[in-house]
């Protein structure tokens, strides 16, 4: 998936909610006016420091060296100490009757740190150093043959040789065992910081970020998963049967979890690369988007311009000149960079950028639409106050660009000249299968990553059981298993960027729900009649105006208010994704009639 936030965003742009905090002694002299003055100082201070910290983080990821890592760690420690100081100061206003907007900002401030550092200066510095080291270890990771993630991922996505796939899968996981002790130490320090703020652990703190009590969020996530699980189960059953035909049922057993190395992706989180093995054989007239891009002489700049063109077609303002001057669009040959695609908001005004090692492929074309969604969102809420310059919740920020990618239909491709004619309905199952292998297959992975971290933070999992717990959750939710024996010395979670990078992952699960909900609402506003998977809102300025109103709200209101502003409902709903893939579900159920499903 795509990283969407700066390293420093964790320190200052979190989303608040109803947290279970302990109430310290309140100073009798504290007043509402004191609280207002305090908050103004906090927001002013963060806004002033933010630009420098953002630029240091940008350099740290674009020039990965020991020196830049040290600089990032220093700035991170300084901001972390400031955030801890302000979060602790905010506690003195806990028992005051504050205006709702001010009370919410107080909670946002206390919840703003992804990894809350303790007040102790030594612990604070150590947390920053470990975090920076983990990020650098991942960015510079190489196997024993000197192969980095990009090279190994290409093997995973293109090879049909199970031995080569297993070798690539195992090789990448040699980078992460060295992270385990550092990660465990980081967990201890961060938990100490969370407890100082009144939370039981970091996981409870993260779950408090959704405008509801932490325990209620667990229930909400399970409810959403329950809505979409039957669709995933049908897809899993079909994919396993087809892989059994390809590799033999000794390797892919018909009633067991699928070996993770056979699903076309380094983490088995999306399965689009195995389409040829599992897709319908009679797919009707179709197209290859990568070939269309190459045929039409698309280079990387043209891909970015086209992605920007979707948003401007909705009436949104063009990206500034500095975006084109300061972004990193392709991988440099002369230095190590963190290639994980990301969108950056450098000054909380107009200096927005992306960092991406782009190639002319269908996947990167879609990723560009996604990343620019972050940038347009960032610019839309730039006039909000500092703590409100963020998504309504972290799932919103991921969903905005992805909702746009759902409009990248054949009708859209025809409008921009990549397709001469729109394929008929006979090709819809093929198109839906391709998308389901990425979108639907991802859902349980998106859910379980933070389920694992919640268990790490609350002590259910210890360093000795980190790996065992990881694979237990993957089998439970995904029906995917390790392709070889893994022992307690392994640290397979660390082979996924978001673990050493300390990026909360529930946002991606929520985004996969919300993007379809946004898409359905947009298509309804556009007056579209027909199947959701055929709808594009490209060029519809009425939809764009309503869309932008939601974006402009940022985090100024609880997320149900923002959701209602665009969709008319205050509840996240997985039924839109079920409706979108309804024709495919019928097809899958027919194919699975005589198969043993489940694991």
- DSSP, res 116: P
**Active-site position among 61, 107, 371, 475:** 371
Give helix 582-591 / helix 214-247 axis angle, nearest 10°. Answer: 50
**With contact defined as beta carbons under 8 Å apart, do 11 and 83 qualify?**
yes
Q: Give the C-alpha separation, 4 to 415, whole Å.
A: 29
Q: Give the C-alpha separation, 356 to 371, whole Å.
A: 9
Distances from the Cα of 99 to the Cα of 12, 105, 387, 391, angstroms: 21, 10, 16, 22
Q: Give the C-alpha separation, 313 to 301, whole Å.
A: 18
Instruction: Name residues whose C-beta falls within 8 Å of residue 523's C-beta, 6 or more positions apart in sequence.
Output: 532, 535, 537
Q: Give the C-alpha separation, 3 to 362, whole Å.
A: 19
Per the DSSP assignment, residues forming a β-bridge with 3 are 342
| Gap between the terminal Cα atoms of the chain | 26
**With contact defined as beta carbons under 8 Å apart, do 402 and 511 qualify?**
yes
Closest CA to 401 of 343, 468, 348: 343
Element (H, E) at 383: none
Closest CA to 86 of 34, 123, 42: 42
Active site residue 388: no
**With contact defined as beta carbons under 8 Å apart, do 211 and 226 qualify?**
no
Burial (Cβ within 10 Å: 0-12, 13-18, ≥19) of residue 551: buried
Q: Give the C-alpha separation, 270 to 440, whole Å.
A: 8
Instruction: Name residues whose C-beta falls within 8 Å of residue 590's C-beta, 6 or more positions apart in sequence.
Output: none
**Active-site position among 236, 261, 388, 498:** 498
Active site residue 552: no
Q: Give the C-alpha separation, 504 to 388, whole Å.
A: 19
List, by residue number, the catalytic residues: 371, 498
């Amino acid at each position: 998936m795509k990283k969407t936030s700066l390293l420093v965003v964790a320190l200052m742009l979190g989303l608040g909610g109803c947290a279970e905090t302990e109430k310290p002694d309140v100073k009798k002299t504290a007043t509402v006016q004191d609280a207002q003055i305090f908050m103004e100082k906090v927001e002013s201070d963060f806004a002033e420091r933010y630009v420098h910290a953002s630029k240091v983080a940008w350099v740290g990821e674009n020039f990965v060296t020991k020196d830049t890592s040290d600089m990032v760690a220093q700035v991170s420690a300084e901001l972390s100490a400031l955030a801890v100081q302000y979060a602790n100061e905010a506690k003195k206003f806990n028992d005051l009757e504050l205006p709702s907007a001010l009370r919410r900002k107080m909670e946002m401030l206390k919840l703003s740190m992804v990894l809350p550092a303790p007040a102790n200066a030594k612990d604070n510095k150590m947390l920053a150093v470990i975090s920076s080291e983990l990020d650098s270890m991942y960015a510079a990771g190489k196997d024993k043959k000197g192969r980095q993630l990009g090279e190994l991922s290409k093997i995973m996505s293109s090879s049909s040789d199970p031995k080569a796939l297993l070798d690539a899968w195992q090789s990448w996981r040699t980078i992460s065992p060295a992270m385990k002790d550092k990660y465990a130490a980081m967990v201890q320090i961060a938990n100490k910081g969370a407890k100082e703020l009144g939370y039981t652990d970091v996981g409870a703190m993260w779950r408090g970020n959704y405008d509801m009590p932490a325990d209620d969020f667990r229930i909400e996530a399970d409810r959403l998963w329950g809505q979409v699980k039957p669709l995933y189960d049908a897809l899993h059953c079909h994919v396993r049967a087809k892989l059994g035909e390809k590799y033999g049922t000794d390797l892919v057993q018909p009633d067991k979890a699928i070996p993770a190395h056979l699903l076309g992706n380094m983490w088995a989180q999306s399965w689009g690369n195995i389409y040829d093995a599992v897709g319908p054989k009679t797919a009707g007239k179709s197209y290859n988007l990568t070939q269309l891009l190459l045929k039409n002489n698309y280079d990387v700049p043209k891909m970015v311009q086209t992605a920007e063109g979707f948003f401007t077609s909705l009436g949104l303002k063009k990206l500034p000149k500095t975006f084109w001057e300061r972004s990193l669009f392709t991988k440099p040959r002369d230095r190590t960079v963190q290639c994980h695609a990301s969108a950056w908001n450098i000054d909380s005004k107009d200096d927005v950028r992306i960092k991406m090692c782009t190639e002319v492929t269908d996947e990167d074309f879609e990723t560009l639409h996604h990343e620019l969604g972050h940038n347009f969102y960032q610019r839309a809420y730039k006039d909000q106050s500092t703590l409100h310059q963020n998504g309504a919740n972290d799932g919103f920020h991921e969903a905005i660009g992805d909702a746009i990618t759902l409009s990248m239909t054949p009708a859209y491709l025809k409008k921009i000249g990549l397709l001469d004619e729109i394929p008929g309905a006979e090709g819809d199952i093929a198109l839906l299968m391709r998308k389901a292998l990425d979108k639907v297959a991802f859902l349980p992975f998106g859910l379980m990553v933070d389920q694992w971290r919640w268990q790490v933070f609350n002590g259910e999992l210890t360093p000795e059981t980190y790996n065992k717990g990881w694979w237990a959750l993957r089998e439970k939710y995904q029906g995917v298993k390790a392709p070889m024996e893994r022992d307690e010395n392994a640290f397979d979670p660390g082979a996924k960027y978001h673990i050493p990078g300390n990026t909360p992952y529930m946002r991606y699960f929520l985004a996969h729900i919300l993007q379809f909900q946004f898409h359905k609402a947009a298509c309804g506003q556009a007056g579209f009649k027909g199947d959701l998977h055929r709808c594009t809102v490209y060029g519809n300025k009425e939809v764009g105006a309503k869309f932008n109103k939601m974006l402009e709200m940022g985090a100024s209101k609880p997320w149900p208010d923002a959701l209602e502003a665009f969709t008319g409902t205050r509840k996240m709903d997985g039924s839109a994704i079920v409706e979108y893939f309804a024709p495919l579900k019928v097809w899958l159920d027919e194919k699975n009639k005589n198969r043993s499903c489940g694991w």
